Amino acid sequence: MNKKTIRDIKVAGKKVFVRVDYNVPMDKSGQITDDTRIRATLPTLKYLLEQEAAIILASHLGRPKGSPVAEFSLAPIGRKLAALIGQDVVFAPECVGPVAQSMAKALQPGQILLLENLRFHKEEEKNDSAFAGELASLADVAVNDAFGVSHRAHASVEGITRFVPAVAGFLMEKEIAFVGGAVANAARPFVAIIGGAKVTDKIGVIENLLQKVDTLIIGGGMANTFIAASGYGTGKSLVEADKLDLARSLIGQAKERGVNLLLPADVVIADRFAADAAHKVVAINAISEDWMALDIGPASQQAFAQALVGAKTVVWNGPMGVFEMDAFAKGTEAVAKAVADSGAISIVGGGDSIAALEKTGLASKISHISTGGGASLEYLEGKVLPGIAALADKE
């Protein structure tokens, strides 16, 4: 996908509207507990400042449902950004209206203005044209660096592009190159590892990847549904009974296409869903009736790691077990290590997969960590993301 980026346009002396995804976790006292998403935008912001642009930043935070909610104000984020970027960030108490207009008008090259939460207005999520036009009127050009919301046709993401030209920031450019590249023309062998609780959440991804990968590995809670579909007893494990036919169909599709579909050979089962539950490793044909599978076992960890040897592209989305509990985190951590050590172009998405990388200290060995959960899933499904489609194409 050949989209224009901030390198392809002249921004000197211009006011640049930059849509970012600063929807970051905060504690009850308003302290930001993870600033990864803010730090991820710094290369784009620094480049624009070096090019003598004036930056108008816009983001959402939480789910204020279309009206102002004090706890979802972006003011603390402005203070955090100022500390990270080493210069003042002016905060506008509104994102549209006369105050925002006059503050944007007064903004000089090299300065940063952060607008208040876009979702304090219901028009943002409705992609209201008048609201998009008001946002556009603040600036000369728009930049989308918010991949995490680019699967949503919202006013600040898609609507604004009808009023001012829009290009990709560096973070967006990276997402298009890596996640889009994996879907369009991955280097082979191409291995995908899909985990998480439910098949329902990832049906589209699995179906699309089955047409593209050489090996598909399935772990996590969703693997139980495939294990049950293969005729094994699963005890009290999470199984989507209404998805058994679908799982059988996907197993059949993999065979037809010559895709190596790997399911767990052994699992860690527990007598209840609790961090201190009694647990043991069993083969998938020996899951006790009153027990539940909560992680992949050591033989599966080894087989999954072996499947990555020699891979050129690896995509990983979703944990292998109940990663939040230490007793059932070993499978996810083993996969994190195998992906990091694979030497392949590695693309990781999904909060739990990223958390596993951070926990194991392996994040720096991954080619690309995707900042968008739902967006990266839809991109891997092969869907057109409205926020990307709306960006200007290179000539």
Catalytic: which of 110, 373, 374, 382? 374
| Contact present, 294 and 270 (Cβ < 8 Å) | yes
Catalytic: which of 122, 351, 361, 394? 351
The residues pairing with 279 across neighbouring beta strands, listed in sequence order, are 270
Catalytic: which of 198, 236, 312, 365? 198
Query: How are beta strands 112-114 and 54-58 bridged, if at all?
Result: parallel
Catalytic: which of 3, 19, 37, 174? 37
Residue 198 annotated as catalytic:
yes
Residue 78 annotated as catalytic:
no
Euclidean distance between CA atoms 29 and 78, whole angstroms: 16
Q: 232, exposed or middle or buried, with CB in 10 Å at 0-12, 13-18, 19+?
A: middle
Euclidean distance between CA atoms 178 and 367, whole angstroms: 8
Within 8 A by CB and 6+ apart from 326, the residues are 275
Q: 184, exposed or middle or buried, with CB in 10 Å at 0-12, 13-18, 19+?
A: exposed
Residue 37 annotated as catalytic:
yes
3-state secondary structure of 223: helix
Sheet strands side by side (includes 345-349): 260-262, 215-218, 190-194, 313-317, 345-349, 368-369
- Tell me, what amino acid is at 250? L
- Report angle CA 321, 334, 378 to the nearest 5 degrees: 60
Instruction: Specify the DSSP class assigned to residue 180.
Output: I
Q: How far is CA 282 from the centre of its chain?
A: 33
Which residue numbers are catalytic? 37, 198, 351, 374
